[in-house]
Amino acid sequence: MSNTQKAKSVVEVTAADVQGPGVVFCPNPKMPMWSHHPRVYIDVAHSGEGQCPYCGTVYKVKEGEHIGHGH
């Protein structure tokens, strides 16, 4: 199955899920151990969503959530 044929899952993230400068990491803690790949950080602060280059999971900021840039 090629990358374009993979079923992509969408994970809604909240401000509490965001680390450091507006990023989330994949694989996330809810993913099963067998599906793990090298950890990557995905920017969701700028466009409201981002996609993992390894597994294709899309991380999308939940509607109504505000992602701040610092404290």
Confirm whether 3 is domain-assigned.
Answer: no
φ and ψ of 35, to 5 deg:
-95, 5
Confirm whether 4 is domain-assigned.
Answer: no
Confirm whether 38 is domain-assigned.
Answer: yes
Confirm whether 31 is domain-assigned.
Answer: yes
Q: With CA atoms as reference, report the closest residue to 11 among 64, 62, 47, 53.
A: 62
pLDDT in tens, 13-45: 999 999 888 999 999 888 888 778 999 999 999
Q: How many domains is the chain partitioned into structurally? A: 1
Domain housing 32? 10-61
The percentage of the chain sitting over the pLDDT mark of 70, rounded to a whole number, equals 85
Average of per-residue pLDDT values in the chain: 84
Confirm whether 67 is domain-assigned.
Answer: no
Per-residue three-class SS string for the chain: CCCCCCCCCEEEECHHHCECCCEEEECCCCCCHHHCCCCEEEECCCCCEEECCCCCCEEEECCCCCCCCCC
Confirm whether 19 is domain-assigned.
Answer: yes
